[in-house]
């Protein structure tokens, strides 16, 4: 069957901003989808609010709408574009939900748009609890028995019917509190009663507990002709109970025999057939480790995080094939992109083991609950491949960038045996390391660990192999054979160095002397059975034959940015990909090294060669030794890549772009200060201290409030504003470990307007594509601020100064490529806060709105082309006539115990963009795109810190004038009264019937403005209020600046149409504005 004849134009829905549970994997899937559709000659319209993605690049789709993903906007775009088909299954849950809403609203029918791929009915069957249950019962596939009860008798009756253990989950509570696992009737009564009390609707869900069973996943595909195949099986290291996104996962399954594997495979095919899915689908099972019993846990009727992983794990392009199926091809008509000779209709066979390891944000959210359960908490993940589990898990661990290079956390060394042993039953982000620690100390046998954790003993024995090798290494002199054994097991040189005391460089030399070198193997979907074209490789010390064909071409390695984490998101993958493209355009062989399975950069057809490897000095140098490239580019892979620059240069590797010495000058506090003094560019007064006393004297001199932070950080980790000596003392003892090697920076905190600039330099000229002004004043991390291009309030004199400083800084640092500078403007003066001699979070945003391919230009500049040759001249490029607003998006709903209050620590996980000819509408789009639903009227609660009371008065007045009813806490209300505004006074938290939390719960408050008093020990109440707004989806603004802008939007939008959409191509007018 050929492709559907009626299709000419297709609209693709992206997944929107990165949030926990929906990350870069959908940029990968969406980009692949668009490219795949264009390949078929179809016109592609893309809608996605996330500017940090490759998929929203103007060259990925014919028409790109960076607009909010809401029914209103989508309907308007559909009305305008009149597509023939809609593809939503590659946009994650967000895309799928939107498709369902569009179908239900009648928009698809009205404009005669065919929903491609899986039907609405199928989506509902998979997602509606009751429909799914019915379907599974009909086809005889077991799902865990469950019931909803409203009293204790119902619970007991159910338990008598099916037995224990049971999971009790109260329906609709704040933060999922009140649930638990009941092992007997006594516990059931206790938990159910508690749950009924906590549930806001008095309901409790009771389900058979299968915690501790093996969790197995299958990626399945089906075409319109009912041909079904499985792409990949995956086994969770962590048994059922931990969200698969928070589990360590291996592929293929390791502990299932063929009988078990086929049992679940057959069930998968049965399910995808029953659901009549056309495309990809993910099915999760729980398998009893002691019998053939299994349950179907979940079905995702779309491309998912797991399918991105399965794609990267096998080389099979699931997203691409899903798209071809959606437009009418059958699997046997689609060519296998890897072999180019066989068909997409086969099941990949792999000849390695894949490990996926989640990356959690607990380093940023130090107060967050690290317990892992059914709510996913990871922001990103890494993947690794090797020919042994030990090798793969060790690669994964060192890819995480959590300061660990083996299964060893230094802090656990100080823990007592009892502490280590007793913690084994805790399920959190450190469990793997704790197991290793317990085995290392011989506190437990592998059987005991398996018994306590329910993790299959196969995995535990492998961990034991690793700790046994550590013991071997610690004994005596390092012999060649021991070194070989350790490398074969997957140990990093650095780990061997730690354990033997031999210098890491000496180990490297020794390895070369004894020819203990990795070989590189290809990922080819077929375990070597057919000849393959994929330039996709991984290293192993378990092999004789290297498969990489090294060319004689001019070639350059681009270092990727590793796992998605707070502070280093998909933006850096965007930059890496563009750098690769720029190199290829220039006729240079582009090689990428990265370890993130969710990204576009790790698609095998992006670069000339992809090495799926950890980003450590050793792993990169091994590839350098192999490929002998002209050099390495480090400025696009975020701090991950920059951090490797010095050690690579020291090993003799050429770094293209800004020199290592100049990178250091920007990052080293003292050298940076020297440079600023020479240039006569001001910065907020500050000092670098290495002990508490110096900090106290220094801060007194500078004057409070001061901003304190450890040096060399990304994303403002452990940065705080402290208002007095007491707080400073507390910070120094709690937040940082201050040593001569790790100084702490103390800066004057300037409450001004923050401005951010990205520039490109070739060392002679400096092009500034644009300046962005932040809505929130300095003190809120730049990544959490709303950024506006072009600036709306800055006088031209200030713009001139910023342009001038930017040029001089770029030239002083002899920047060859990108540079990001943050300024604060206070009292009419411009101060430099920080300079990053690399690409930044705002580069994709700015590239899109200015239509300047910044990374492309920067890459060519790094290679030695001059800006003049490329047609660019020094200076600030004239601002565009439209306004673009970048707004942060948070994942607070996923992270309990995290304070949503904004500060110098970055908390957002993603971003959206709003673009329009009117500033207010651009802002409206950004806020709407960020998922904040601003009420047009209703009740607004003010509860602000004393320091903000004065400033708040006018804001409250303005809202009042817009018709909002004001409520306030006592002190705030009093302040309002002073200017003659009456606000209803609400009781403090705990005054049960009328307290704020109750009012929020009851839907009586529609918006909250809350600022936090200075200091960290305050306002548990404030914290509870803020959390309540998160749980109930009430907009809450913790910066008065944001609230002001919201007020302005409301004023502006009163009498203007809300929905107005143009494609990015319309805004930028097609080609490069400068060429």
Partner 1 sequence: MKGKLILADGTTFRGQLFGGSNATTEGEVVFNTGMTGYQEILTDPSYCRQIVTLTYPLIGNYGTAKIFNQSRKSFVGGLIIGELCEKPSSSSMQKTLAEFLTAEKIPCLYDVDTRALTKKIRSAGTMKGVIVSEYTSQGTINEMMALPVRKNVVEMVTTPVMYTLDARADALNIVTMDFGIKKNILDALRKLNCRVTVVPAKTPAEAILAQKPDGVFLSNGPGDPKDVPDIIREVQKLIGKLPIFGICLGHQLLALAMGANTYKLKFGHHGCNQPVKNLENGKVAITSQNHNYAVDAKSLENLPLKVTHVSLNDGTVAGIRHTSLPISSVQFHPEAAPGPNDTVRLFDEFIDNMKGSREIGK
> Which residue, 252 or 629, has its beta carbon nearer to partner 1?
252
The DSSP result for 881-924, as a single string, is SSEEEEEEE--GGG-TT------SS----EEEEEEESSHHHHHH
Check residue 2 for interaction with partner 1 (CB under 8 A).
no
Q: List the x/- string, 32-51, binding to partner 1 by CB under 8 A.
A: --------------------
- Considering beta carbons, is residue 523 or 695 the nearer one to partner 1? 523
* Interface region with partner 1, contact rule CB under 8 A, candidates 330-338, 473-481, 658-666, 1058-1066: 330-338
Query: What is the C-alpha separation between 818 and 837, in angstroms, rounded?
Result: 6
* Closer residue to partner 1 in complex, CB, 390/618: 390
Of residues 575-594, those binding partner 1 (CB under 8 A): none
* Structure-block tokens of residue 253: 């399954």
Give SS3 for 302.
Answer: coil
Tell me the closest approach of the beta carbon of residue 486 to partner 1, in angstroms. 16
CB contact at 8 A, 255 and 214: yes
Stretch that binds partner 1, among 28-36, 60-68, 193-201, 258-266 (CB under 8 A): 258-266
From 251-259, 826-834, 866-874, 952-960, give the range in contact with partner 1 by CB under 8 A. Answer: 251-259
Alpha-carbon distances, residue 564 vs 23, 371, 637, 910 (angstroms) = 8, 20, 11, 10
Positive/negative CA dihedral, 922, 924, 927, 930: negative
Among 17, 91, 328, 348, binds partner 1 (CB under 8 A): 348
Encoded tokens for 830: 């411009």
Residue closer to partner 1 by CB (options 519, 586) is 519
User: Under the criterion CB under 8 A, does residue 257 sit at the interface with partner 1?
Assistant: yes
Q: How many CA atoms lie within 13 A of 148 on its CB side?
A: 9
What x-and-dash track marks residues 510-529 binding partner 1 by CB under 8 A? ---------x-x----xxxx
- Confirm or reject binding of residue 347 to partner 1 (CB under 8 A): yes
What's the closest the beta carbon of residue 747 comes to partner 1, in angstroms? 53
- Minimum Å gap between C-beta 386 and partner 1 is 9
What are the Cα distances from residue 1060, in Å, to 77, 740, 857, 886, 932? 9, 56, 32, 18, 18
User: Does 695 contact partner 1 by CB under 8 A?
Assistant: no
Alpha-carbon span 702 to 150, nearest angstrom: 61
x/- letters, 352..391, toward partner 1 (CB under 8 A): xx---------------------------------xxx--
Cβ-Cβ contacts under 8 Å for 966 (sequence gap 6 or more): 939, 940, 942, 956, 959, 960, 976, 981, 982, 983, 984
d(CA 395, CA 534): 22
Measured at the alpha carbon of residue 888, what is the angle toward residues 882 and 894, in degrees to the nearest 5?
150
Minimum distance from residue 246 beta carbon to partner 1 (Å): 23
Q: Show the tokens assigned to 472.
A: 């071997």
Q: Which residues pair with 913 in a beta bridge?
A: 886
In the numeric block, the tokens 């070194």 are attached to 483
CB 570 within 8 A of CB 599: yes
CB-CB contact of 296 with 263 (8 Å): no
Segment near partner 1 (CB under 8 A); pick from 204-212, 340-348, 819-827, 990-998: 340-348
Considering the rule CB under 8 A, would residue 331 count as an interface residue with partner 1? yes
- Taking CB under 8 A as the criterion, the residue among 290, 416, 552, 993 binding partner 1 is 290
**Backbone dihedral angles phi then psi of residue 534, each to the nearest 5 degrees:** -65, 125
Contacting partner 1 (CB under 8 A), which of 72, 461, 664, 1021?
Answer: 461
Q: Under the criterion CB under 8 A, does residue 350 sit at the interface with partner 1?
A: yes
User: Interface with partner 1 by CB under 8 A: which range of 276-284, 342-350, 724-732, 742-750?
Assistant: 342-350
Q: Of the ranges 3-11, 15-23, 329-337, 717-725, which one interacts with partner 1 (CB under 8 A)? A: 329-337
Q: Is 446 in the site for partner 1 (CB under 8 A)?
A: yes
Q: Is 253 an interacting residue with respect to partner 1 (CB under 8 A)?
A: yes
Regarding 229 and contact with partner 1 (CB under 8 A), the answer is yes
Nearer to partner 1, 230 or 901 (CB): 230
Residue 693 lies near partner 1 (rule: CB under 8 A): no
In the complex with partner 1, the residue whose CB is nearer, 458 or 712, is: 458
Q: Which has the closest alpha carbon to 972: 996, 990, 956?
A: 956
Interface with partner 1, residue 293, by CB under 8 A: no
Identified binder of partner 1 from the candidate list 128, 503, 531, 693, rule CB under 8 A: 531
The owner of tokens 């309002």 is 976
Contact region with partner 1 (CB under 8 A), list: 143-151, 181-189, 285-293, 494-502: 285-293
Contacting partner 1 (CB under 8 A), which of 181, 345, 510, 1058?
345
Q: Which of 110, 129, 343, 419 binds partner 1 (CB under 8 A)?
A: 343
- Which of residues 6, 59, 184, 266 is near partner 1 by CB under 8 A? 266
Phi, psi of 77 (to 5 degrees): -70, -40
- Residue from 597, 244, 250, 248 nearest 433 by CA: 248
Instruction: Kindly state whether residue 457 participates in binding partner 1, applying the rule CB under 8 A.
Output: yes
Which region among 456-464, 507-515, 729-737, 1004-1012 touches partner 1 (by CB under 8 A)? 456-464
Residue 317 CB, nearest approach to partner 1 (Å): 17
Q: How many residues bind partner 1 (CB under 8 A)?
A: 57
Q: Is residue 458 near partner 1 by the rule CB under 8 A?
A: yes
Q: CB of residue 462 vs partner 1: minimum separation in angstroms? A: 8
**Is residue 349 a contact point for partner 1 (CB under 8 A)?**
yes
Applying CB under 8 A, among 77, 256, 337, 466 the residue interacting with partner 1 is: 256
H or E element that contains 781: none
Cβ 183 to partner 1 shortest distance, Å = 22
> Please, which residue, 489 or 849, has the CB nearer to partner 1?
489
CA dihedral 235, 238, 240, 242 (to 10 degrees): -120
Residue showing tokens 């009305």: 79
DSSP string, 150-204: SSHHHHHHHHHHH-S-EEEEESS-GGGTT-EEESSHHHHHHHHHHHHHH-TTS-E
CA distance 498 to 805: 44
Tell me whether residue 342 or residue 960 sits nearer to partner 1 (CB atom).
342
Can residue 177 be called a binding residue for partner 1 (CB under 8 A)? Answer: no
How many alpha carbons lie under 13 Å from residue 413 in its C-beta half-sphere? Answer: 5
| Shortest distance, position 518 Cβ to partner 1, whole Å | 12
Residue 473 · residue 482 · CB < 8 Å: yes
Nearest to 548 by CA among 612, 632, 473, 482: 612
Report which of 985, 940, 943, 992 is spatially closest to residue 966, judged by C-alpha positions: 940
Stretch that binds partner 1, among 338-346, 554-562, 839-847, 971-979 (CB under 8 A): 338-346
Listed ranges 57-65, 257-265, 399-407, 905-913: which one lies at the site for partner 1 (CB under 8 A): 257-265
Residues that bind partner 1 (CB under 8 A): 225-227, 229-230, 252-259, 261-262, 265-266, 269, 289-291, 330-332, 342-343, 345-353, 387-389, 446, 450, 456-458, 461, 519, 521, 526-531, 542-545, 547
């Amino acid at each position: 069957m050929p492709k559907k004849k009626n299709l000419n134009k297709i609209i693709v829905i992206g997944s929107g901003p990165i949030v926990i549970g929906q990350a870069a994997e959908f940029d990968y899937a969406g980009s692949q989808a668009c490219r795949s559709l264009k390949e078929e000659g179809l016109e592609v319209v893309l809608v996605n609010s996330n500017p940090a993605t490759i998929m929203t690049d103007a060259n990925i789709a014919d028409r790109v709408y960076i607009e909010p993903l809401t029914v209103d906007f989508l309907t308007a775009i559909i009305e305008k574009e009149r597509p023939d088909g809609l593809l939503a299954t590659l946009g994650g849950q967000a895309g799928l939900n939107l498709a369902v809403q569009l179908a239900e609203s009648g928009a698809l029918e009205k404009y005669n748009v065919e929903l491609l791929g899986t039907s609405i009915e199928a989506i509902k069957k998979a997602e509606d609890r009751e429909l799914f249950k019915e379907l599974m019962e009909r086809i005889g596939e077991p799902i865990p028995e469950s019931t909803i009860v409203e009293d204790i008798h119902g619970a007991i009756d159910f338990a008598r019917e099916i037995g224990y253990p049971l999971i009790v989950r109260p329906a609709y509570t704040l933060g999922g509190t009140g649930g638990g696992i009941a092992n007997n009737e006594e516990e059931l009564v206790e938990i159910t009663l508690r749950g009924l009390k906590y549930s806001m609707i008095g309901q409790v869900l009771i389900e058979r507990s299968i915690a501790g069973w093996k969790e197995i996943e299958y990626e399945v595909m089906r075409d319109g002709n009912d041909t079904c195949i499985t792409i990949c099986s995956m086994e969770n290291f962590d048994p059922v109970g931990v969200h698969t996104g928070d589990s360590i996962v291996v592929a293929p399954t390791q502990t299932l025999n063929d009988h078990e594997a086929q049992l679940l495979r057959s069930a998968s095919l049965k399910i995808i057939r029953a659901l009549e899915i056309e495309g990809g689908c993910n099915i999760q099972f729980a398998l009893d480790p002691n019998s053939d019993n299994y349950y179907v846990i979940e079905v995702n009727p779309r491309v998912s995080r797991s399918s991105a992983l399965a794609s990267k794990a096998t080389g099979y392009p699931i997203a691409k094939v899903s798209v071809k199926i959606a437009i009418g091809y059958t699997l046997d008509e689609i060519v296998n992109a890897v072999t180019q000779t066989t068909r997409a209709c086969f099941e990949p066979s792999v000849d390695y083991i894949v490990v996926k390891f989640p990356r959690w944000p607990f380093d940023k959210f130090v107060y967050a609950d690290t317990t892992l359960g059914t709510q996913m908490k990871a922001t990103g993940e890494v993947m690794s491949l090797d020919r042994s589990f030990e090798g793969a898990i060790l690669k994964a661990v060192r890819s995480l960038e959590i300061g660990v290079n083996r299964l060893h956390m230094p802090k656990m060394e100080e823990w007592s045996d009892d502490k280590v042993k007793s913690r084994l039953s805790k399920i959190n982000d450190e469990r793997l390391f704790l197991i290793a620690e317990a085995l290392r100390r011989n506190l437990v046998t592998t059987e005991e660990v398996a018994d306590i954790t329910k993790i299959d003993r196969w995995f535990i024995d492998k961990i034991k192999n690793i700790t046994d090798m550590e013991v071997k290494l610690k004994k005596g002199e390092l012999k060649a054979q021991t070194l070989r054994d350790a490398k074969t097991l997957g140990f990093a040189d650095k780990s061997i160095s730690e354990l033997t005391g031999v210098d890491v460089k000496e180990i490297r030399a020794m390895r070369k002397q004894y020819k203990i070198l990795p070989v590189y193997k290809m990922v080819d979907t077929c375990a070597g059975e057919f000849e393959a074209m994929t330039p996709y490789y991984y290293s192993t010390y378990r092999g004789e034959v290297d498969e990489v064909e090294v060319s004689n071409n001019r070639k350059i390695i681009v270092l990727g940015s590793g796992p998605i984490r707070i502070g280093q998101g998909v933006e850096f993958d965007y930059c890496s990909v563009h750098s690769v493209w720029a190199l290829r355009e220039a006729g240079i062989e582009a090689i990428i090294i990265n370890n993130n399975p969710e990204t576009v950069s790790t698609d095998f057809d992006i670069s000339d060669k992809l090495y799926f490897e950890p980003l450590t000095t050793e792993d990169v140098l091994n590839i350098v030794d192999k490929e002998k490239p002209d050099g390495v580019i480090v400025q696009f892979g975020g701090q991950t890549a920059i951090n490797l620059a010095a050690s690579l240069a020291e090993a003799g590797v050429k770094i293209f772009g800004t020199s290592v010495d100049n990178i250091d000058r920007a990052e080293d506090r003292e050298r940076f200060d020297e440079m600023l003094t020479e240039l006569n560019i001001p910065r907020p007064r500050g000092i670098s201290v290495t002990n508490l006393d110096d900090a106290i004297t220094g801060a007194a001199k500078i004057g409070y409030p001061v901003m304190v932070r450890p040096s060399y950080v990304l994303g403002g980790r452990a940065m705080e504003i402290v208002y007095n000596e007491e707080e400073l003392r507390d910070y120094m003892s709690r937040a940082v470990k201050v040593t001569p090697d790790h100084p702490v920076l103390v800066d004057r905190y300037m409450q001004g307007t923050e401005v951010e600039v990205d520039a490109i330099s070739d060392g002679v000229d400096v092009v500034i594509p644009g300046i962005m002004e932040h809505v929130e004043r300095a003190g809120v991390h730049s990544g959490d601020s709303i950024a506006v291009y072009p600036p709306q309030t800055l006088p031209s004199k200030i713009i001139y100064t910023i342009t001038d400083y930017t040029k001089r800084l770029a030239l002083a640092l002899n920047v060859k490529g990108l540079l990001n500078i943050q300024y604060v403007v206070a009292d009419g003066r411009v101060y430099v806060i920080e300079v990053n001699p690399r690409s930044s979070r705002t580069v994709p945003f700015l590239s899109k709105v200015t239509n300047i391919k910044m990374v492309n230009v920067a890459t060519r500049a790094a290679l030695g082309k001059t800006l003049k040759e490329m047609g660019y001249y020094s200076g600030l490029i004239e601002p565009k006539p439209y306004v673009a607003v970048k707004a942060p998006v948070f994942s607070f709903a996923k992270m309990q115990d995290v304070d949503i209050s904004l500060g110098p620590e970055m908390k957002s996980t993603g971003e959206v963009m709003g673009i329009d000819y009117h500033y207010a509408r651009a802002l409206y789009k950004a806020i709407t795109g960020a998922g904040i639903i601003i009420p047009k009227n209703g009740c607004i609660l003010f509860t602000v810190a004393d320091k903000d009371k004065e400033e708040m008065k006018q804001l409250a007045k303005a809202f009042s004038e817009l018709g909002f009813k004001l409520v306030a806490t006592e002190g705030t209300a009093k302040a309002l009264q002073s200017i003659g505004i009456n606000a209803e006074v609400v009781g403090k938290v705990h005054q049960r019937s009328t307290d704020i939390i109750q009012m929020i719960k009851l839907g009586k408050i529609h918006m909250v403005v809350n600022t936090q008093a200075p200091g960290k020990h305050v306002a548990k109440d404030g914290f509870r209020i803020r959390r309540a707004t998160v749980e109930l989806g009430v907009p809450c603004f913790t910066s008065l600046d944001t609230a002001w802008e919201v007020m302005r939007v409301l004023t502006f939008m009163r009498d203007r149409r809300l929905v107005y959409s143009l494609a990015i191509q319309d805004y930028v007018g097609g080609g490069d504005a400068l060429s």
